[in-house]
Each structure stands twice: as C-alpha cells, then as structure tokens.
Amino acid sequence: MPFLRIFPVLGVIVMVFALTMLVPLGVSVWTHDGAEAAYPLAMLVTFACGLLMRSAVWKVGRQVELQTRDGILLVGLVWTLLPLFASMPLMLYFSGTATPMSFTDAYFEAISGLTTTGSTVLVGLDALPGSINLWRCFLQWLGGMGILVLAVAILPMLGVGGSQLFRAEATGPMKDAKLTPRITETAKGLWSVYCLLSLACVLAYWLAGMTPLDAWIHMFSTMSLGGLSSYDSSFGHFQSPALEWVAIVFMLIASCNFALYFVAMAKRQPGRIWRDAEWRGSMGLLVGSGVFVAGLLLFKGTLSDPGEALRMALFNVISIGSTTGYATVDYTLWPVFAPLYMIMLSGIATSAGSTGAGIKMARMVILVKQARREMRRIVHPRAVHPVTLGGHTVENSTIFSVLGFMLVYGGTIIGLTMLLLLTDMPFDTAFSAIVASVNNMGPGLNEVGPAGNYAGLTNFQTWVCSLAMLLGRLEMLSFLVLFTPGFWRK
C-alpha cells in the first residue's frame, strides 16, 4: 500500500496538535475556570493516537519527497481527523454539565473552528469557561494559516520533504509559486508574518480596551478571519467604536496575501504591496462596498447619522465580505439588498494566500480578463491577447483550473442547498447556510443569521453544513479528487 508512507507524517501532525491543548489547559489552571479536567485526557488520547501512527509504519528513507497524491490524501485526512480530536475537550467539558454535547454538535463546532468558518451551535457563550472559548478561537488561529503549512517547516527534520504537502494545502489558483528556494523557508516565513501581525493585533485590542483574555480570543478569530466570539452578541458585546476600528484594520490586513507581506518585508520594499493588483482589488472592493452600503442605509432612512452609518457599514460589510463573520447589529434588518450583497461578497473579496476562503480575488481577476479576451476574439479572431496577473502571463492550464473550480464551486452550492431543501428547510436559510459554510464565513440569513446560530439544525443538516465547511476549506477539487477511481489506481 503506497499510501502507508503518509502515516508517520500524519502521526507527527496529530502529536503536535495534541500539544496545542496545553494552551487552553494553562489558561484553565491559571484562571480556575472549572474546565481543567477537559484537557488532559483529550491531550493524552490525541498524542497516543499520533504516536501510534508515527511508529506503526516508519519505513521511509531519508529525505523522501511526498508525491502529489500523498499530499492530497494527507491534507484530506488531517482536515477530517483533527476536528475529531479537537471536539474531545468540548465533549468532556459538557459531559459534566446539565446539557451534554452530542458528537455531531462537537464535531461541527470543531470543524467550524479549524476551517475558520465561525458557525456555532452553542448558546450561553458568555457563561462558558474562558479556556473553552479560547480553545474554540485558538482552533481558528491554527486553521487560519493552516497547521499543515507549519508542519512543512518540520518535515525535513523527519527525513520527509514537504513541497507536495504545501501545494495541496495552499489556497488560490497558482499553487506552484515559491517565495524562497526551499519550501521549508517559505512555510517558516509565512508563519513568522502571521505571528508578527497576530501580536500586533492582540496588543491593539488590549490598548483599545479589551481584557487580556478577550484580546487573545478575538485576535485568534480576527487574524484567522474566523469570527467566533466569547459572547452571544458577537463583537456587538463591546459597544466600542475604538475596538471596531481596530477590528476593521486587522480584518483588512488578514484578507490579503500573507506571501505578499512576506516578500515586501524580506526585500524591504513596502511599495510592492500597493503595486499588487489583487491587493488593490480586495481592499478596494471591501472598503468600497462598506461605503456603498453606508450610503444605502442613509438613503433608505435605516440610519440617520453619517458617522455611525459609515462605521456600522464598514465593520459589518468588511466582516462578512472577508469571511470573518463578526456582527455588531442584526444586519438582516437592513434593506434586503445589503445582507444578500454581503453574503455574495464573501465569495470573492479575499486574496489568494490570505486566511479567507471563497473563490478568491485572483480567480475573479483571471475570470474577468478571460471573459474580456473572449469578447475581443469575437471582434479580432486572429489577435493575441494573453491573460496577465501581476505583470505575468497566466498559463492556459491555470485558466482551465480556474474554470473547473468555478464549475465545482457552483455545483457544490447548488447540490448541498438542494440537499437541505429535501429536509424542508426554508430556502433563504438553506441557501445562505450553504454559501456561508462553503465560503467559511459563518452566519447566514434567517435562523442561521447574526441574531441566531446553527443550534436549531437537525443532525443531518448539521453534517451537511460540516461537509460544506470542509469542501470550502480544501477548495473542493483537492477533496473531491479523493473519490475518483483514478486517484487510487497505481
């Protein structure tokens, strides 16, 4: 069985993941929040399973490079298994309360965290132990950059190359571009930038008025564009314009390509950021949409104060458009155009290489330029009009990949929406829940909107949304290929 060589690597990733449970355990012990017993057993079981995988089939020679199929299968297994282990602290904690948590709900909560979706089935978040809320949001921070990208940095120490793993995990249409000659250095560089910006975010939240614990919790869900909160009223709990402006800044930063930040910092050329077409597109679309919705709210008479309208519109539009999912108001009460536009925006506004999900701005730019090229061909059949991105010609193979992705993206949303409609779920709830899950955005409309959550879903509906989150995080094709006969053929 050629795929056995991935199990030692999978085991190491699981063992590293087990050690991350020390973070909420430490917080629980320090604050005496009553959840101390939830973590040691979960950590022990997770580490033991990883150790078993690591030692069972270690027959790989030194510096063995994972093949493309190995990387794809490993990524699929990691994003399927890690939520299983991540759900254990939740189940263990709630087993000692009056409302035990089912495996379905615990897995949904864990996969929502790791995929940076931000959907939740929990109510009474304000009363939960701080370490439980921190664990939920810490999962988002780990999933934001991708725990596999971190694993790539340590694979050479195990005698296993990681370029195929990095390619399978990386988001966006052009996965082969290397920032440094060594893929390990690339992974380290991306995580360094991610950690540096995360530190700046937590300090900004703290200085703007959050408690240290709240600052860490909301930094985790801001930099990952995840949007989980420790309060039922989400970010609206704080009622602080200063905190909202901090969140706006860092949501915008996290919506753009971290590789761009890495290159600009490494070469000491900050101007490269502004010159990037995708960065300008994401920033322009998110900020411009916020200003547009502010004008709509004033025009429709929903709000009368221009400053308040601008702040509320910018925060909520950027939050939803960047796939974060924070809310300060129930925006479903705004003119009907606004919430629908915001949900559609979540599919296209973030950049490739960001912690966001959806189609990505790079793909949209390629699609628009390809459509323009086809229109030019109608008028000038023999003219040559290459599609370019960032001053470089986009290969036809990349364009075909983008077109294939768009077909699967649309088919996934339609198919899963129809599946929820079979359960007699209202159309607006079903459609928005699937779009929000596939785009890893979180809140939808109606029952699953910002004033509610996913607690009212049946077990079947919950599993459908869990599948949608997984497909969205892995950009569909990397996961669906596992179910094709050709993938398993020698």
Q: Coil, strand, or helix at residue 392?
A: strand
Q: Coil, strand, or helix at residue 254?
A: helix
Cα gap 27→149, rounded to integer Å: 26
- Residue by residue, pLDDT tens for the chain (490 residues) are 556 777 888 888 899 899 999 999 999 999 999 899 999 999 999 999 999 888 866 554 444 566 777 778 888 888 899 999 999 999 999 998 888 999 999 999 999 999 999 899 999 999 999 999 999 999 999 988 776 666 665 555 444 444 555 555 555 554 445 555 566 677 778 888 899 999 999 999 999 999 999 999 999 999 999 989 999 999 999 999 999 999 999 999 999 888 888 888 888 888 888 888 888 889 999 999 999 999 999 999 988 899 999 999 999 999 999 999 999 999 999 999 999 999 999 988 888 878 888 888 888 888 888 888 889 888 888 877 888 876 778 888 888 888 888 999 999 999 999 999 999 999 999 999 999 999 999 899 888 988 889 999 999 999 999 999 999 888 888 788 888 888 787 6
Quick one: pLDDT at residue 160? 47
Distances in Å between the alpha carbon of 182 and those of 148, 161, 190?
16, 10, 13
Quick one: pLDDT at residue 154? 53
Please name which of 450, 444, 451 lies closest in space to residue 425, comparing C-alpha atoms.
Answer: 444
DSSP string over 166-177: HHHH--SS----
Tell me the two tokens of residue 124: 């009474």
Count CA within 13 A, CB hemisphere, residue 184: 12
Sign for the pseudo-dihedral over CA of 6, 12, 17, 18: positive
Number of H helices, E strands in the chain: 22, 4
Quick one: pLDDT at residue 38? 92
Cα gap 36→16, rounded to integer Å: 20
Tell me the two tokens of residue 296: 């709509």
Quick one: pLDDT at residue 60? 47
DSSP string over 78-133: HHHHHHHHHHHHHHHHHTTSSSPPPHHHHHHHHHHHHTT--------GGGS-HHHH
Residue 389: its H or E element: strand 388-389
Please name which of 170, 398, 391, 367 lies closest in space to residue 277, comparing C-alpha atoms.
Answer: 391
Sequence length of the chain is 490
Quick one: pLDDT at residue 58? 52
Residue 64: its H or E element: strand 64-65
Which residues are within 8 A (CB) of 30 and not within 5 positions of it... i.e. 6 or more apart?
none
Cα gap 247→218, rounded to integer Å: 9
β-bridge partners, 160: 64
What single letter denotes the amino acid at residue 53?
A: M
Q: Coil, strand, or helix at residue 253?
A: helix
Please name which of 279, 243, 283, 265 lies closest in space to residue 194, comparing C-alpha atoms.
Answer: 265
DSSP string over 282-337: HHHHHHHHHHHHHHHHHHHTS---HHHHHHHHHHHHHHHHTT----SS-GGGS-TH
43, 22 in Cβ contact below 8 A?
yes
Quick one: pLDDT at residue 387? 81
Quick one: pLDDT at residue 175? 47
260, 279 in Cβ contact below 8 A?
yes
Cα gap 236→247, rounded to integer Å: 12
Distances in Å between the alpha carbon of 249 and those of 244, 283, 370?
9, 11, 32
